[in-house]
Amino acid sequence: MTVRIDQTFSDLKAQNKAAFVAYIMGGDPDRETSQKMLNALPEHGVDIIELGIPFTDPMADGPVIEDAGIRARKSGTTLKTVLDMAKQFRTKNTTTPIIVMGYCNPIHHMGYAAFAKAAKDAGIDGAIIVDLPPEEDTDLRAAFDAHDLALIRLATPTTNAKRLPKVVEGTKGFVYYVSMTGVTGANDVASKEKGTSIKEQVARVKEAANLPVVVGFGVKTPERARVVAKDADGVVVGTAIVKTLFEDGLDAALALVKSLADATHGEA
Query: What is the set of active-site residues?
Result: 50, 61
Which of these, 37, 63, 184, lies nearest to 71 by C-alpha position?
63
Provide CB contacts within 8 A for 31, sequence distance 6+: 75, 76, 77, 81, 85
Q: Which residues sit opposite 49 in a β-bridge?
A: 22, 98
Provide CB contacts within 8 A for 252, sequence distance 6+: 244, 245
**CB 176 within 8 Å of CB 154:** yes
* CA distance linking residue 268 with residue 265, whole number of Å: 9
**Diameter of the chain by CA atoms?**
47
**CB 26 within 8 Å of CB 54:** yes
Q: What is the DSSP letter of 211?
A: S
**CB 198 within 8 Å of CB 179:** yes
